Structures are given as C-alpha cells and as structure tokens.
Structure 1
Amino acid sequence: MPGHLRLALAALLVVALLSPYPELLRWARPGTTSLMQQRLREAREEGTALELQRTWIDLDSVDATLIRAVLIAEDQRFYGHGGVDWEALAEELHYTGHGAWQWWDVQDWAGVLGAVRYYRDHADDVRGRSTITQQLAKNLYFGTDRSISRKARELIVAKRLEWFLPKDRILELYLNVVELGPGIFGVEAAAQAYFDRSAADLTRAQAASLAATLPHPLTSNPAHRPGRMRWRRDLILGRLARGEGPVPEP
C-alpha cells in the first residue's frame, strides 16, 4: 500500500475514533443540537434575540404526504442506501471507477478523500447529494463548518447512525431537528409557526411547502421571501401528483 494512502487511512482512523457515537439516539431524544447552538451563538454575536422553537412529534403522527414530500425533495433513495448514497456521489464526482465501491480498494479510498474535499468546496451546490442521514449527522453534531475533518466525521457518523438505528428512527430524528426557519427546528414547530396547525394535519400544499423550505430555510420559507420556496413546492406537488418518490416502509 502506498505511503500516502497509509497516512490517509491512519488519519481517517483517528477521525473515526474522535467522532461522536450516536447509538443512544436509538431510544433517547436529542437535546440542543450543534446547529441550534450555532444559531444561538450567531444571534448573540449579532446582538439579536433568537428563541428556539421545537416540538417533538412521533413519526407515526407525521402527515404521510409530508413524509413523501421530504423524501422526494431530499433523499429519494433513503430506504435503499446505507447512509451515504455512493451512486449519487459518483454521479456528482463523475467517478470512473471499475464498479461498486470496495473498502479495500486503493482507488476507491482515493475517491472518498476526493469526495470529502469536493463536499467542502462545493457545499451549496451538492446539498441535494447529502443523504438525510448525513444531514442528520451534520445537524446533530457539526453545524455548518466546511472543514475536511468535519465532512469526514459526518460521513463516519452517518454510517454509525445506519448501523445502530432503524431507518424509520433516523427519519424521525431528522424530521424533529431539521432547520425550517429562523429558530424553527423540526416539522411540528414549523407547521405550527407557518400554518397554525400540527404536522399531523397538513394540506398537500402545506406539506410540499415545508419540504420545499429545507434547502434554504433562512432565506426562503413560507413567511419570508417565499418565491424560491414556491417554485420548489410546485415541483414537489407535481411529483406527488404523479405518484413519484419512495413510500416509507410500514
């Protein structure tokens, strides 16, 4: 094995050992996440007040159309990948490897390191390539830092989440901690803030609006400059009408 690859693998091992262990989330609800703490810190630095709005809702209670809309918008292969969507990543990186990714293959590990760097430098452009599991890892533990080490740890934590938590639990956690507006975290808080109703009782348009808010929750949401959100909402509504997108497992 080439010396530079041994060093890279050693560095990845250190990163893995220093990464958070999310196993307890199989049963426990998360506290204040890293992204929430970051937003509070940013507000203090700007001299503004920010009150966190968050209300837990069980996955079984979330409107089924909202779940479908989120999966359509954010991670269509959610129930088919293992935390990192290597197929989508390969498309983004124009990967020209010889087949499926293999952990023992030098060329494939070089591709992973390249992917980490690419994510760091093109975070806004490839957000759609981050799986729901990766987004959950980022929200829980890392915030919006774009360093290579953070991205590597995000990938590692995403794999740990998939190893220890069922898919439905990962989705439930994501729907309860994801940012959906200034100080608004989770679909229940967002539904109450924007529509004065529970995320269990949304219209199809309201469900699509929340899903459409996910990429840019601070700059385009149902209450603030909704143009971009509405454009994306209409795309999601079209896909819902055509019956596209994955259906959550029973």
Structure 2
Amino acid sequence: MTMNRLGKVGAVLALGLTVSAPAVAQDAMTVGITTTGVPFTFLDTSTQQPAGAMVDLASAIAEDIGSPAKFEVTSFSALIPSLETGKIDMISAGMFATDERKKVVNFTDPVYSYGDGLFVKSEDSTAYQLEDLKGEVIGAQIGTTFADKLQATGLFSEVKLYDSLADIMREVKLGRIKAGFGDAPIVAYQIAQNPNLGVHLVEGYTPMSEGNVAIALSKDKPELLEKVNASIAEMKSSGELAEIFSKYGL
C-alpha cells in the first residue's frame, strides 16, 4: 500500500456501492456502519454516500485485500447481531473492542483510542465530574459501553437510553435530562459542525475509561482477521492510518 492510495478511497467506495448485483454477491465485502457516528461514520449530505474515518479505513482495507467494500447502514445496537447472522462481513465504526464483545466477535488490532465525553446545556458552565451528577437523570446511547458503565455506578436517578447522540443532545438542550454522555471525539465534532445544538462538552471532565476502537469480524472467519490485521499493520507503518484519521480531525 502507498500513501497516495488514500486518494483512491472515493473510487473504491463508489465501486462498492454501484457494482452490479452478481459481482456484489461474489466479490464484495459487506461492511456494517452507522450514520450517527460522525466523524467515524456518517452520511455525506452533499453526495448521499457513507463517509468518515472508519469508512475510508474499510475502503482502504477492502482495496488491499482485493474485495470491494459494500456499505450496509444500520443502527449501532444492530451491528453485532448483523455480523453474527451473516448479514454483514465486517463492522467498521467507532466501536470499542471490549471483553464482553470479544465473546461473540473477533476484533482486529486497535486503530484508534478515546474515552467518553460529558455534555450539558450551553449556558451551564459548571465543571462537572461524574459524582457531581448524583441523583440526576442523564442520557446515553443504547448499545454503548458508556451506557453500561453509567448504569453500573448507581449514581443516577435514571439513565435514559436513546438511539442516537442527536436525540440525547436535543433532550439536554430542552432540559429534559441534566447531561448526556457519548464518544468524546464524536460529540466534539458534531458540536463544532453545528454550534446551534445548544450543548457543550464539559472541559476537565475525567472519562470513566478509555477504549480501543477496532474493526469487528465474525469468529467464523479467522482467515479474514489475519488479512485485515496485516493490512492495518502496513497502514500503521506507512503512516496511512494516521493520515486517514487526521483527515477528520481525529
């Protein structure tokens, strides 16, 4: 792989999305993504095509192993079930490689690391830590590790679960919940792109934990895991992996 290969990702993505039905069935690798994970995975409104760091990464890997990427958009909570049932071949999203998830899927070597972010209403300038929200109603995205950790603390009167970060941000802005939690880089990117969301990240907040983002594959395909890991290792060595993530401010 070469550094200029990143420029070919768009062409590979287009190929994966427009290839004829017989070729898709035979050659393409179906990649599960969610459109609520900006800047990791999202829908580019100008092209109506999947975009983001994990989309570019999957496209680059697919090119390297000779199997065009075909993207399947689904909710975050449905990604692993879709992989288990064979609906998709790979998950390339802002997903942490947790011990619990490793029981049902294989993860590649890590490609990015980050922790949770805490956000509140724009006019709320309090420098909250987790304990400061004791007894409050807070929100998190269903299916995320953050939701599980928040519920396990027993600190809150309720941890409401939502399908997307946009839903949580709306509820915080309207004052229906005190605070929201989400992937720190995703929250930061969305707020930067749309200052009118009415929320802001709490500066100085100490994340509950940091996790490693990795690509998920079926346990029934160990040979695919080897190929994808080899591709990731080469991209790390060449600097291409860092280039893909820096393109999206990560």
TM-score bracket, shorter-length normalisation: under 0.3
Greater fraction of residues in helix: 1
Greater fraction of residues in strand: 2
TM-score (norm. length: structure 1): 0.24
Q: Which has the higher contact order (CA 8 A, sep 6+)?
A: 1
